[in-house]
Amino acid sequence: MQAGNSKSVSYLILGLSIIGMWSVVSHYMPVPELTSIDAFYPPPGKEWFLQQLPRYDAYPITTALHVIPAFLFMLMVPLQLSSWLRKKNIKFHRWIGRTFVVLSLSIIFTGFTIGIIMPFGGNIEMIASFIIGTGCLISLIIGVIRIRQKRIAEHRKWMLRMLVFAFAPVTMRGVMTFGVIMFDYKASDIFGQTLLIGMAVNLLVVECWIRYTTQKKDSSSTLAAATAQ
């Protein structure tokens, strides 16, 4: 049962990583002209493609330092969380981990900048960017401290929490699509709100997963101790 749940989580993370990589690539897509296929613009939707992408072009260095590391980050997430790879090649796992830290810092600090100089969702996006960036940075710092202390279980928990914030813009796209289709909201009007909702959804899932796996491990340890007696 636990193996099946772990596999399901792995597939979920892989799916989110793929969506995240596509989202990053979209920053370098040419701005489409108004055509009869406007209804098929993927989230964040036509408004984002036509109005926000040109703003990114005005800050090419900041954009590159945000989206290129974000693409590499999303590409490496499934590898870094792979227990099979960690057991087979711990040196490679550690190398990815160090790269993760560098990429994360670039993403976080340029994310702060983007949220301030060109927020698509106005003041609420600025607030959401600050909360998400701060949460990601704090989780990353604690995760690094824990692995330096050889507290591996705590390290993994905090790195999972870091992904709560890192994947917020990815989960947001699903929430935003629902809001735009079901309630006919403008993407810019709910961009910041859906960022926060995406973060909250991720936090709920990750904390439930941490609680579930911790209880499983405690139960297994108790059973092993009882059997040994």
Whole-angstrom Cα distance, residue 191 to residue 180? 11
Domain containing 160 equals 2-31+38-221
Q: Which of 32-36, 120-124, 182-186, 196-200 has the lowest mean pLDDT?
A: 32-36
Q: Cα 167 to chain center, whole Å?
A: 2
Q: In this predicted model, what pLDDT tens digit does every residue of 62-117 receive, in sequence order?
A: 999 999 999 999 999 988 888 888 888 888 989 999 999 999 999 999 999 999 99
Residue 76 falls inside a structural domain: yes
pLDDT band at 44 (very low <50, low <70, confident <90, very high): confident
Residue 228 falls inside a structural domain: no
Whole-angstrom Cα distance, residue 74 to residue 68? 10
Residue 229 falls inside a structural domain: no
Residue 226 falls inside a structural domain: no
pLDDT of 4 strictly over 80: no
Whole-angstrom Cα distance, residue 42 to residue 30? 14
Whole-angstrom Cα distance, residue 134 to residue 108? 8
Residue 75 falls inside a structural domain: yes
The residues near 55 (Cβ < 8 Å, ≥ 6 apart) are 118, 120
Residue 97 falls inside a structural domain: yes
Per the CB < 8 A criterion, the answer to whether 136 and 165 are in contact is yes
How far from 118 is each of 1, 27, 89, 107, CA to CA, in Å?
46, 14, 42, 15
pLDDT of 30 strictly over 80: no
Token pair for 179? 């809001």
Residue 83 falls inside a structural domain: yes
**How many domains would you assign to the chain?**
1
The whole-number pLDDT of residue 217 equals 67
The whole-number pLDDT of residue 2 equals 44
Whole-angstrom Cα distance, residue 130 to residue 138? 12
Residue 72 falls inside a structural domain: yes
Q: Which of 40-54, 66-80, 139-153 has the lowest mean pLDDT?
A: 40-54
Q: In this predicted model, what pLDDT tens digit does every residue of 168-213 receive, in sequence order?
A: 999 998 898 888 778 888 888 999 999 999 999 999 999 998 998 8
